[in-house]
Amino acid sequence: MTRPLRILFVTSELSPLVSTGGLAEVAAALPRALQRHGHEVRIALPFYRQIPGKYRNSHPRFCGAALGAREEFGALHQGMLPGSDIPLYLVEHEAYFGRDAMYGVGAYEYEDNAERFCFFCLALLNGLATEGWKPDVVHCNDWHAAPLIIYLKTRYHQDPFWKDTACLFTIHNLAYQGRFAAAHFGSTGFDRSLFSFNYLEYEGDMNMMKGGIVFADKITTVSPRYAREIQTVEYGAGLHGVLALRQADLSGILNGVDYAVWHPSTDARIAARYDRTDLSGKAVCKRALQNLFGLPPRDVPLFGIVSRLYPEKGMDLVVDTLPSLMRHEMQLVVLGTGHPDIEARIRAAAQAHPDRVGAFLGFDAGRAHAVYAGSDFFLMPSRFEPCGLGQLYAMTYGTIPLVRRTGGLADTVLPYRPHGNSGMSATGFSFVPQTAQALTRCICSALELYQDAPRMRRVRDNAMARDYSWDRSSAAYVALYKSILNREAADG
């Protein structure tokens, strides 16, 4: 297929409208890159209460969804992705999406999430069919959009409007699978035959992620290494078997960096702009970051963290290393929220060492940009990381990442070895195993590098020279879309 593609990007969140993590940023950046390459892209998501009311149309297109024994009705609104001319579809249903949170309150997800996102997917399909815009490809992201693929490949398999549509399913984090008790199956509108081991059933429950994996034409995840890891018992979260069965259709494509938002030469949120050829602005950003977090402006290695403060992100290791690290000449700034115990230990460290540790236990976008720009090193010791964006942002800003060698972190950070390549190609540090001792050794290596100015400059320059633009990643997605369409045409 040589003509531009029509692509429907289906997501449960979208920056800057509604966001809980990296998916929202991907959902905004990848469609922009696809459009730059000449393709027609539209984005669909639920019309949550958190989305501004200006997106509500005065005359929306009404759409319904038959969920089991009853039919629910909603409205399909249209708008534009902020800062672009990419069309948005927003599926409104007050009872489902007019709530205080997107997925649930605190650690408790809404009990009817299966029904909510099945309605979103089915109402979207029905609304688009009546409008008449027919995509060549639907690109569905994570379990919340998996029902759309299941409907297309079962209920709408022979539908004249939808039958030739290609389906790509991207797994951003396999840990979140959309697993529900069997009692919820009746509220989905799926054929009863789908509740079986070959399709959606998993250990007696219904598993939406499994359904997406089984029915998609092709499956991607967000780094090549993570695509391999999730086929193993250690990282497969119980779905390693079904993923291994789809191995031929599973690939990993790295996420990219939206350089319109994240680049030190144009970033309006940082204290001074800079680039590879002139790093004087980075020194200004370091002083500004120290001031922002209440630290004295000392010429010592400054480590930064922007993260959810949970063990899965390795933050338990960070707090375990703090007592020994405080014996070194260094500073640490922490931005994030998470586990109460980890927050308490970070707060205690900041109180005990006010000249060494600064913490903001919340999230603020401006502070995040300041951390990436002003730090010398960036800590990201995740237990697992499908791709990771933090290390990509850090390298873009010349902040050297220290990561655990897993998933996308291993794919993107070339580790420095002081007695090996001497920094000729290295872009950061990595460590294994997942222990406080290994992290401490890694940090000590970074402290040594800081004292070697020529090598420090070389590693920093290597990091800033890397190209993680969405243009590269989007080209890989387009090739995958076309391979599905060409295969279907050949089978046709």
DSSP class per residue in 362-409 = S--HHHHHHHHHH-SEEEE--S--SS-SHHHHHHHTTPEEEEESSHHH
**Across 10-15, average pLDDT:** 97
Which domains can be identified in the chain, with CATH numbers?
A: 6-256+471-491 (3.40.50.2000), 280-467 (3.40.50.2000)
Q: What is the pLDDT of residues 360-395, one digit of tens each?
A: 999 898 999 999 999 999 999 999 999 999 999 999
Cis ω before 433 (30° cut-off from 0): yes
Q: What is the pLDDT of residues 271-300, one digit of tens each?
A: 999 999 999 999 999 999 999 999 999 999
pLDDT in the model for residue 21: 82
Name residue 200's amino acid.
Answer: L
Burial of 320 (0-12, 13-18, 19+ CB in 10 A): middle
pLDDT in the model for residue 167: 98
Per DSSP bridges, beta strands 6-10 and 137-141 are: parallel
Share of the chain above pLDDT 90, in %: 91
pLDDT in the model for residue 489: 67
For 212-301, strand residue ranges (E) read 218-221, 250-252
pLDDT band at residue 424 under the 50/70/90 scheme: confident
Residue of higher predicted confidence among 352 and 68: 352
Residue 486 reports pLDDT greater than 90: no
Residue 490 reports pLDDT greater than 80: no
**Summary count for the chain: helices (H), strands (E):** 16, 20
Kindly report the length of the chain.
Answer: 492
The tokens 């850090």 sit on which residue? 394
Q: What is the pLDDT of residues 220-260, one digit of tens each?
A: 999 999 999 999 999 999 999 999 999 999 999 999 999 98
Rg of the Cα atoms in the chain: 23
pTM of the entire structure? Answer: 0.91
Question: Structure tokens of 152?
Answer: 């297309």
Q: CA nearest 361: which of 319, 302, 421?
A: 319
**Across 452-472, average pLDDT:** 95
**Across 77-102, average pLDDT:** 96
The tokens 């338990």 sit on which residue? 316
**Across 141-146, average pLDDT:** 98
Q: What is the pLDDT of residues 26-48, one digit of tens each?
A: 999 999 999 999 999 999 999 99
Residues with Cβ within 8 Å of residue 76, at least 6 apart in sequence: 60, 61, 62, 63, 89, 90, 91, 92, 123, 124, 127, 128, 131
Q: How many angstroms separate the CA atoms of 23 and 33, rounded?
A: 15
Residue 420 reports pLDDT greater than 80: no
The maximal CA–CA distance of the chain, rounded, in angstroms, is: 70
User: How high does pLDDT run on average in the chain?
Assistant: 95
pLDDT band at residue 70 under the 50/70/90 scheme: confident
pLDDT band at residue 422 under the 50/70/90 scheme: low
Q: What is the pLDDT of residues 167-184, one digit of tens each?
A: 999 999 999 999 999 999
CB 55 within 8 A of CB 47: yes
pLDDT in the model for residue 257: 94
pLDDT band at residue 1 under the 50/70/90 scheme: low
Q: CA nearest 475: which of 135, 33, 42?
A: 33
Residues with Cβ within 8 Å of residue 474, at least 6 apart in sequence: 30, 33, 34, 36, 37, 256
Helix (H, G, I), strand (E, B) or coil at 275: strand
Long-range contacts of 155-159 (CB under 8 A, 24+ apart): 155/189, 155/191, 156/125, 159/129
Residue 353 reports pLDDT greater than 90: yes
Q: How many angstroms separate the CA atoms of 475 and 31, rounded?
A: 12
